[in-house]
Amino acid sequence: MNPEPEHSTDGPSPAELSPARARALFRRGLRVPTSGYSAGYAQANLISLPRDLAFDFLLFAQRNPKACPVLDVTEPGEVSASVFDGDLRTDLPAYRVYRDGVFVEERTDVTDLWRDDLVSFLIGCSFTFETPLLEAGVPVRHIETGSNVAMYRTNRACRPAGRLSGPLVVSMRPIPAGQVADAVRITSRYPAVHGAPVHVGDPAALGITDLDRPDYGDPVEVREGEVPVFWACGVTPQAAVTASAPEFAIGHAPGHMAVTDVRDTVYQVP
Amino acid sequence: MNPEPEHSTDGPSPAELSPARARALFRRGLRVPTSGYSAGYAQANLISLPRDLAFDFLLFAQRNPKACPVLDVTEPGEVSASVFDGDLRTDLPAYRVYRDGVFVEERTDVTDLWRDDLVSFLIGCSFTFETPLLEAGVPVRHIETGSNVAMYRTNRACRPAGRLSGPLVVSMRPIPAGQVADAVRITSRYPAVHGAPVHVGDPAALGITDLDRPDYGDPVEVREGEVPVFWACGVTPQAAVTASAPEFAIGHAPGHMAVTDVRDTVYQVP
């Protein structure tokens, strides 16, 4: 008994779905990257950690604001958030579970793993500024091809905080050389969802040896005349979990985000 | 044996003092509001709380970013910070000590009260944007008169976090009606030091019944043709301490700030 109408091929496109309808589809098992879903609404990364680590993580986020712009933090055990009127245990398309820093499984529902001491952090996601990029005529390859964005662990260390440390993770979008300036200008207006790129061109300088082998997501072709442009990525907390080995953590599966109820314009600065 | 030259009437003005020299004066006992000191360098509010409360406070700051923009957070027990190359126990002109939420004493040195579990938060201060206001010809009355800025507890509740709650505190500057727009435009470029005003005119709407009786600092005259303009204030954490009664806290004496080593332009957005 769910009041949401079923999604069908005759229904709205993913971009046209309201956040509540998109979340209902994910809750029922649709397992897809969320890039392009619910155009105009912000998307968020999820990291849920035991209360005991919550200060270290919030400090890690404060010290690494490009990678970890905090949109919302729950009370311990809470399953919804002020920016997300859904259930954090079921309404993302997929999750990753970590024990002692080891990624042990990916699944579509973490209800039975939930704990009363989990504090959940919602971190801005760069999918949010893809709508304004598209509106400005800047192509977004992974939306065109229906694949996940390509993400890489870099050789740049984040500033540690307490027990948490780890590398910066970036997402990459191939941008035509003549539109790189537009991409910088547009995305810099959205600091809460990673803002301006951290790096333009030269993947080797970030320690990325092969663009065709991303650490997360799918490979995305960089064509003649295009430059790989790198933005800080909200998978960075999961890289910190891998590096720092806390006892337990739940994150979103990279690219499979929390679709929030907040318009992307709310996070736009002049 | 201090390598800093003594301050004298023949020496540099307060505005011309380097942050290190200003801090040396305060360390030796000079007890004055810091508005106008070390022009061009950011100033910061201090709140030091037991580690046990650090997450609640960082979350309080994250939920109330206009009042509590975090510039830096120390490790437990640390007495300096990346933005402040001095001693947090001695290098502010004055401190306030709270026990169980009660303001018990004001003093110029808190070395003997320091504890290994204190986490110190440096919060942006609106004194930082007074230099650009002055450079744009917007008068700052409390600098003209050599007094402290006027600060008020308002009837607006901050968003609570864990055990911390309390009212928004604001600072007030009287601005000529024809320059209010300039003041908004200029200060909005400094979100890390409270940014744009939260309120223009109409003190009663904030629950302020008498501008001549500020809750902190000195009364500041609002002249004919001027409008009282209110900015969120970094004394808000101390109002939360008063309201929430944690076992122990140390803050700066209102208006007697930490003069940092960071140029104010670092906190300026386009």
Q: How far is CA B14 from CA A244, B19, B108, B128, in A?
A: 46, 10, 19, 14
Q: Indicate which of B56, B57, B59 best probes the interface with A, i.e. most A CBs within 10 Å of its own CB.
A: B59
Which runs of consecutive H residues, i.e. helices, occur in A95-245?
A: 130-135, 141-144, 180-187, 236-244
Residue B137, pLDDT score: 96
Q: How far is CA B168 from CA A99, B154, B165, B225, in A?
A: 41, 6, 10, 27
Chain mean pLDDT for chain B: 94
Distance separating alpha carbons of residues A225 and A139, to the nearest angstrom = 13
Tokens of B90: 């001695």
Strand partners, B250: B48, B97
Taking a contact as any Cβ pair under 8 Å apart, which residues of chain A between 51 and 70 contact chain B? 51, 54-55, 58-59, 62-63, 70
Contacts with A73 from chain B: Cβ below 8 Å: 59, 62-63
Residue-wise pLDDT tens digits, B42-98: 999 999 999 999 999 999 999 999 999 999 999 999 999 999 999 999 999 999 999
- Domain B14-125+244-265 matches domain B127-236 at the CATH topology level: no
CB B73 to CB A54 under 8 A? no
Q: Which of B73, B188, B270 has the CB atom closest to A59's CB atom? A: B73
Asked if B97 reaches chain A (Cβ–Cβ under 8 Å), the answer is: no
Domain A15-126+244-267, what fold? PSTPO5379-like (3.40.1640)
Q: What pLDDT band is residue B3 in, cutting at 50, 70 and 90?
A: very low
The three-class DSSP label of residue B61 is: helix
Q: Which of A58, A269, A270 has the CB atom closest to B59's CB atom? A: A58
Contacts with A270 from chain B: Cβ below 8 Å: 188
- Contact present, A250 and A34 (Cβ < 8 Å): no
CA of A69 vs chain B CAs: smallest distance (Å): 10
Contacts with A59 from chain B: Cβ below 8 Å: 58, 73
Q: Which of A55, A63, A269 has the CB atom closest to B55's CB atom? A: A55
- Contact present, A251 and A94 (Cβ < 8 Å): no
Asked if B184 reaches chain A (Cβ–Cβ under 8 Å), the answer is: no
Q: In terms of CATH, what superfamily is A129-236?
A: PSTPO5379-like domain (3.30.2040.10)
pLDDT tens digits in sequence order for chain A, 270 residues long: 344 444 445 678 999 999 999 999 999 999 999 999 999 999 999 999 999 999 999 999 999 999 999 999 999 999 999 999 999 999 999 999 999 999 999 999 999 999 999 999 999 999 999 999 999 999 999 999 999 999 999 999 999 999 999 999 999 999 999 999 999 999 999 999 999 999 999 999 999 999 999 999 999 999 999 999 999 999 999 999 999 999 999 999 999 999 999 999 899 887
Asked if B73 reaches chain A (Cβ–Cβ under 8 Å), the answer is: yes
Contacts with B55 from chain A: Cβ below 8 Å: 51, 54-55, 58
Locate the domains of chain B by residue range.
14-125+244-265, 127-236
Residue A2, pLDDT score: 42
Question: Considering only the top CATH level, what class is B127-236?
Answer: alpha beta
Asked if the model's pLDDT at residue B2 lies above 80, the reply is: no
The three-class DSSP label of residue A213 is: coil
- What phi and psi, each to the nearest 5 degrees, are found at residue B150? -90, 130
Contacts with B73 from chain A: Cβ below 8 Å: 59, 62-63
Taking a contact as any Cβ pair under 8 Å apart, which residues of chain A between 118 and 157 contact chain B? none
Domain B14-125+244-265, what fold? PSTPO5379-like (3.40.1640)
